[in-house]
Amino acid sequence: MSIPLPPARAAWRNRLYQIIFEADTPAGKAFDVGLIVCILVSVALVMLDSVQDIHTRFHQELWVAEWVVTVLFSAEYLARLLSAPRPWAYARSLFGVIDLLSILPTLLMLLFPELAYLLTIRALRLLRIFRIFKLGRYIAETQIILTALRQSRQKITVFLTAVCVLVVMMGSTLYVVEGPANGFTSIPKSMYWAIVTITTVGYGDIAPKTPLGQLVASLAMISGYAIIAVPTGIVSSELIRGERPRAPTRPVTCPHCLLEGHQDDARFCRACGAALLSAAPALSVAHKTQRSGPG
């Protein structure tokens, strides 16, 4: 079943819209899989190009492949602009900007070759591709994690402020105790050491050498050891509270406001009320009057 769009829109634009923006038709899924492959290939190209040996030997091939990828991404960007009911809304949305950013660098690269590494920003586009992996459930999962993070935002701010104060105090103390002779050449560098220590990364490029410095550092490690328990506990408790059953959702994008995560039987966008293009079967009266039993 198909819901008519405004008469000004040609049928091929609707069809293109369903292929590109939605993921519940075979063509839409194929498009998403192809896009994922394309993104992974383009990221791999940039990585390989940074290896000196490969760059020297396959420079020509990598250059060709890069332009093929860029042409494909440019075509995708134009197709999205063409098929989106409100092109300007798409162009200003987060993913519209990312799509643009992922073709701009190659064009700019002709002028500024040192920008080549910015191409890996395409990795960000992987986030959009979650849709196909999860068909409705993954979006809900992502939202649970994001909701947990958002609800514990205030606790995390308190926690990060405490970590910052601890880092400043620790770094200054070690700068005074160890001094430039032992590698603690300035307070910012000592704070770098404090962060490396408190997060338990521990490179060892800077390490206290005097007995007093080692004593203070030991206290800092034990503190970091105790502190790492706090964010874990925060996220755990939020996740445990946040897990309530959710209605299943469909991978449909609102053609008007580009909102995703609509419920299975949604025919209209829950945010702006626009008609969804690949709509669910109309809710029959029987379905609507159906009520859950007492069990």
Q: Provide the H-helix boundaries in 180-268.
A: 187-198, 211-227, 229-242
Count Cβ atoms below 10 Å from residue 129 Cβ, excluding itself.
15
Should residue 43 be labelled a site residue for a copy of itself when binding is judged by CB under 8 A? yes
Identity of the residue, 58 or 159, whose beta carbon is nearer to a copy of itself in the bound complex: 159
Of 16, 10, 7, the C-alpha closest to 278 is 16
Binding span for a copy of itself by CB under 8 A among 67-75, 82-90, 99-107, 135-143: 135-143
210 binds a copy of itself, rule: CB under 8 A: no
Please give the residues from 75 up to 94 whose contact with a copy of itself meets the rule CB under 8 A. none
Judged by CB under 8 A, the stretch of 72-80, 91-99, 138-146, 250-258 that binds a copy of itself is 138-146
- Residue 232 interacts with a copy of itself (CB under 8 A): yes or no: yes
Q: Does 51 bind a copy of itself (CB under 8 A)?
A: yes
Single residue of 243, 248, 264, 270 touching a copy of itself by CB under 8 A: 243
Alpha-helical segments (H) within the chain: 11-21, 26-50, 52-57, 59-83, 87-92, 94-101, 104-109, 130-134, 137-151, 153-178, 187-198, 211-227, 229-242, 285-289
Tokens of 129: 């591709």
User: At its nearest, how many Å lie between a copy of itself and the CB of residue 216?
Assistant: 11
Q: Minimum Å distance from CB 138 to a copy of itself?
A: 6
By the rule CB under 8 A, 123 interacts with a copy of itself: yes
- 250 alpha-carbon distance from chain centroid: 20
Q: In this chain, which of 27, 72, 124, 257 binds a copy of itself, going by CB under 8 A? A: 124
Nearest of 131, 111, 108, 132 to residue 121 by alpha carbon:
108
Q: Tell me the pairing of strands 249-250 and 262-263.
A: antiparallel
Listed ranges 2-10, 86-94, 217-225, 250-258: which one lies at the site for a copy of itself (CB under 8 A): 217-225
Q: What angle do CA 123, 196, 229 make, to 5 degrees?
A: 85
- Nearest approach in angstroms of CB 22 to a copy of itself is 20
Positive/negative CA dihedral, 209, 214, 220, 226 = positive
Q: Taking contact as CB under 8 A, which single stretch among the options 28-36, 197-205, 261-269, 287-295 is the one that binds a copy of itself?
A: 197-205
Annotate each residue in 149-178 with x if it binds a copy of itself (CB under 8 A) or - if it does not, as one string: -----xxxxxxxx-xxx--xx--x--xx--
**Can you name the residues that pair with 263 across neighbouring β-strands?**
249
